[in-house]
Chains A and B, each alone.
Chain A
Amino acid sequence: GDSVTQTEGLVTLTEGLPVMLNCTYQTIYSNPFLFWYVQHLNESPRLLLKSFTDNKRTEHQGFHATLHKSSSSFHLQKSSAQLSDSALYYCALSTSSGQKLVFGQGTILKVYL
C-alpha cells in the first residue's frame, strides 16, 4: 500500500540556520499529490504547501519543497529558521485511487535562540 516516511522524529536547531525535513513516499500511482502540513502547539494541522508537478519548486511562507518523482521525495526546506517555525510537520500523500491522505509519522521542529 501507499506509505510516507519521515526519517526524523525531532529536529533541533538554532535560529537562523537552514531547515530541511525529509519526506519520501511509496506508491504505485504515477501522479501522486504531496502535501506538507504544519501543526503548532494546541492548534490543528493546516496546509503549508502542496505539489503534484514533478521537479517544480513550490513555496509558501518562506518554506519550499520540490516533488522529485525519480527519488520519490518531497523534502521541506527553509533558508533560515525562526523561533516561530517550531511546530510539528507532517508530510502526506494522496493518490488518484481515492480520497485518503496517507500521513507520515511527523517531525517535530524545535528552533532555539
Chain B
Amino acid sequence: GGIITQTPKFLIGQEGQKLTLKCQQNFNHDTMYWYRQDSGKGLRLIYYSITENDLQKGDLSEGYDASREKKSSFSLTVTSAQKNEMAVFLCASTPGQGYEQYFGPGTRLTVL
C-alpha cells in the first residue's frame, strides 16, 4: 500500500501572491498529476509529470508552474493568486497508463 500527502490542507493567500502547494507519494509511482476541482466543474488537469524532471501541461496550466525534482514529490505554484481560482487542488499518482489514479486529500485554496 501507499499514501499521498498534500500540504498544506488549507491555504489562504492574498490576491497577487505567489503560493506553493506540495504533494508527496510513497507508492513509487512514475506519473503524478495536479488537478483543480471547482464546484460543479469537475476535475481539470493543470500539470502532470511522467518521470522525475518531466513536466507536461494540462488544459488549465496558465497561471501555474510545477516542479518534479524527485520521483516522490510534485509541487504546484500559483504564480499570482486570483479570487476566481479559489478551489480544491488535488494531487494524484499512477504507476502507468491504464492503471487507476490514486488521489491525495486535497488542498483548499482561499484567496482574500
Contacts and interface: CB of A to CB of B under 8 A. Distances in A.
Interface in B16-55: 31, 33, 40-43, 45, 48, 50
A99 B43 contact: no
Given A9-B40, A45-B90, A104-B42, A99 B48 contact: yes
Contact of B98 (A33, A100, A103, A105): A33
Interface string A82-112: 0000000010001010111101111000000
A100 to B, nearest CB: 6
B100 A105 contact: no
Nearest to B91: A44
A17 interface: no
A46 B104 CA distance: 10
Given A35-B100, A52-B98, A100 B58 contact: yes
Nearest to A52: B98
Interface of A: 9, 33, 35, 44-47, 50, 52, 90, 94, 96, 98-101, 103-106
Interface of B: 31, 33, 40-43, 45, 48, 50, 58, 90, 94, 96-98, 100-106
A15 to B, nearest CB: 25
Nearest to B43: A103
B97 A94 contact: yes
Contact of B100 (A44, A50, A90, A98): A50
B103 A45 contact: yes
A103 B42 CA distance: 7
B48 A100 contact: yes
Contacts of B97: 33, 94, 96, 98-99
A98 B105 CA distance: 25
A101 B98 contact: no
Given A52-B98, A94-B98, A99-B94, A46 B103 contact: yes
Contacts of B45: 100-101
